[in-house]
A = this chain, B = another copy of it.
Amino acid sequence: MRRFTSVHDLIAGPGLTAALEDALEFARHPWINADVGRRKTIGLLFMNPSLRTRMSTQIAARLLGADTIVLNAGSDSWTLETRDGVVMNGSSTEHIKEAAAVMGAYCDVLGLRTFASLTDRTADYAEEILEKFIAYAGVPVVSLESATRHPLQSFADLLTIEQFKKKPRPKVVLTWAPHPKALPQAVANSFVEWMNVSDVELLVAHPKGYELSATFASGAAVTNDQNLALDGADFVYAKNWSSYEPYGQILSQDMSWTVTTEKMALTNNAKFMHCLPVRRNMIVTDEVIDSENSIVIAQATNRVVSAQTVLYHMLKGLA
């Protein structure tokens, strides 16, 4: 596997079912492939802060015997120019072409974390930064979240649903929830994309105006009635995102969309999910996230497993 930027790379590689089986095996026996990464180095470039992705990828690499080097663009390293053909007489000190090529010359696998600009939708949805990085890296690249997707998160989410589901085809609700800042659509897009190829009944709930890009949402059932959506749900995945049209805007901070105990009472004793970091008492009340049905830490824990599975398939291909 030369790239992991969406579920489609996994499907085209080992296959989703096989990858899920690998992941469940790694979850049970973390050290069973502790040599596949011997004398290999994984370089991780972060253009944004991160806790789970940063730590879980390092842990995953180590479980496979590989070393990691972590770099924060703009503080550890240089500010990156990502546009082509520009006269670099401004504040950006290095072009992503050289940064990617040099990191690729030093490392065996690279990871890149970037966020949506939320101002240039065309560039964001073309994944310009990630695709340039891949084009120039010369080695396999794993997305550590990009402008429009967060595939290691979604893989961990799917794995978590597999581990906690009580029926073959659970009802999974992705619900928008309020947040004080404009956030990317990446986690929501990606979750829908993964659920659409998995054996679940997905329903997306959001206020009017928060429709996701058709690229991701076209296969998914959608409602603007959160209560209706929650009825009988087995999993409730809360997440904020900003609007796709107009792009990157906060259209609502409607606190009636916060996931509360009363909302959870509408469900089939659903598990509560969130990718973290979460704004408590905006997205979800303390009572819900601190309840027994909250599986957010299990989700975060599975970030190690999803990263390990993806890196395993990349490293295996390098031998």
Residues of A within 8 A of B (CB): 31, 39, 41, 43, 46, 49-52, 54-56, 58-59, 62, 67, 69, 71-72, 74-78, 81, 84-90, 93-95, 97-99, 101-103, 105-107, 180, 276-282, 286, 290, 296-297, 300-301, 304
Contact = CB atoms under 8 A, between A and B. Distances in A.
A72 B76 CA distance: 7
Given A59-B41, A77-B54, A90 B31 contact: no
Nearest to A55: B106
Given A49-B75, A50-B76, A98 B56 contact: no
A55 B69 contact: yes
A294 B296 CA distance: 49
Contact of A31 (B39, B74, B89): B39
A126 to B, nearest CB: 20
A61 B78 CA distance: 22
B277 A98 contact: yes
Contacts of A99: 51, 277
Given A277-B78, A279-B89, A297-B102, A54 B67 contact: no
Given A54-B77, A106-B304, A88 B282 contact: yes
Contacts of A304: 106
A48 to B, nearest CB: 10
Contacts of A81: 280
B75 A72 contact: yes
Given A51-B94, A90-B180, 20 more contacts: A43-B55, A49-B93, A51-B77, A54-B71, A55-B103, A55-B106, A58-B69, A59-B106, A72-B76, A75-B75, A85-B281, A88-B282, A93-B279, A94-B277, A94-B278, A95-B280, A101-B297, A102-B300, A105-B300, A106-B301
Contact of A286 (B62, B85, B89, B301): B85
Nearest to A50: B77
Given A39-B31, A87-B281, A76 B98 contact: no
